[in-house]
Structure 1
Amino acid sequence: MFATSLTRRVALAAGLLATTSLAWSHADAAHVTAENAWARASVPGQQATGAFVRLTAKEPLRLVGVETPAAAVAEVHEMKMEGDVMRMRAIDSLDLPQGVAVELKPGGYHIMLQQLKAPLLKDTQVPITLVFKDGKDAVSRLSLQVPVQAMAPKGAAAAPAGHAGHGGHQH
């Protein structure tokens, strides 16, 4: 009798947790399309690499965070010229206008994975979750399995000449 009561309580608690977590987010960001996602392969000892994707939002959103078990730090970064120096820095959010494809690509906005826990090996996949907020600050997430490549796959934006890697840029 005690075991049955305990089982019912655990099931009820699990149901409440599931309902509560849904209240905190949209239905897993079905309102964002991700295309041509890829992450740059790394080598042993390399501490950082980039991930890239084309995002199209079905409603105005902001990309406000990145989560992955592959790195201690995952951020949205921008690269831009300041004088004749290319600078890279983390940004708090990236606007995604409704229906407009926004490219996260080498040499521009991108996902930066730092303090890698292990090398990202070519022809594997890395789990990355993108975190969004809408105009009412409701949070939603989009979980991706991102292919790891040595270079941009066909159809994905490539780095501009001279800006293929992340090394040597000032933060």
Structure 2
Amino acid sequence: MTSICASRFKQLALGLSLIGMAWQVSAQTQVNDAWVRATVAGQPSSGAFMTLKADTDSKLLSVESPVAKLVQIHQSSMKDDVMSMQQVQSVDLPAGKAVNFDPHGYHIMLMNLSAQIKEGDKVPLTLTVENAKGEKETIKVEAPARALDTMDHGNMDHSKMDHSKMQ
């Protein structure tokens, strides 16, 4: 009788540990190659870029950073040889597919910067992702600052942009 109880206890303990492991590997969002564009002194804004990949259908809801008073998700697009940019409410993250945030598409705008972002600085970002079940995940990222020699969103004046057309 004692060996049966001990055996069942071991099975129960193993089952509970497997449940714990399954909980730890539940739906998650991976953040790869996160970086922020370095700025020059007095520059009011910058961009944050990365690749996100969610295990389940999800969406990026928001991003926060202590280096900026205002953080927004933006999308750039080209139409009739004119580049436009507008704020979006969220970005869909289809299960298993990488979604790029780069200077030419979706990106994170860091506006009203509290200080210059110097190349090599680590910029803290906090992303909020929600899956299809409504469960929210908070992801903390330390994004290194690096130079970008192409399009310069940092010098754009976002104060006069019309953000009323949110998607």
**TM-score (normalised: structure 2):** 0.75
Match of 1:9 in 2: none
Residue identity over aligned pairs, in percent, reads 36
Q: 1:168: Cα distance to partner? A: 4.3
Could you tell me which runs of 5 or more consecutive residues in structure 2 were left unpaired when the two chains were aligned.
1-22, 162-167
After the TM superposition, list the runs of 4 or more consecutive aligned residues in structure 1 that deviate by more than 2 angstroms: 167-171
Structure 1 unaligned spans of 5+? 1-25, 153-158
1:21-62 Cα deviation digits (max 9, x unpaired): xxxxx97x9711111111000111100000100111111110
Structure 1 contact 88–169 (Cα < 8 Å) conserved: no
Q: Does 1:63 align with 2:50?
A: no
Q: Distance in 1 between matches of 2:145 and 2:48?
A: 9
**Paired residue secondary structure (2:148):** coil
Q: Is the 8 A contact 1:49 1:114 kept in 2?
A: yes
Provide Cα deviations, 1:53-86, integer angstroms capped at 9, x if missing partner. Answer: 0111111110010011000011111000232211
**Structure with more of its chain in helix, by fraction:** 2
Whole-angstrom CA distance in 1 between matches of 2:34 and 2:63:
14
Distance in 2 of aligned mates of 1:169 and 1:119: 16
Q: Is the 8 A contact 1:132 1:139 kept in 2?
A: yes
For 1:137, which of 117, 129, 134 is the aligned residue? 134
Structure 2 CA distance for aligned equivalents of residues 82 and 115 of structure 1:
28
1:63–1:132 Cα contact (<8 Å) kept? yes
Partner of 1:115: 112
Residues 34, 143 of structure 2: 8 Å contact kept: yes
* TM-score normalized by the length of structure 1: 0.73
Correspondence 1:73 to 2:70 = yes
Q: Could you tell me how far apart the structure 1 residues matched to 2:123 and 2:134 are?
A: 28
Matched residue type, 2:51: R
Task: Supply the distance in 2 between the matched residues of 1:47 and 1:75 (Cα, whole angstroms).
Answer: 14
Q: What CA distance in whole angstroms lies between the structure 1 residues aligned with 2:156 and 2:43?
A: 13
* Distance in 2 of aligned mates of 1:135 and 1:95: 10
2:84 paired with 1:97: no
The residue aligned with 2:31 is: 34
Equivalent pairs, count: 135
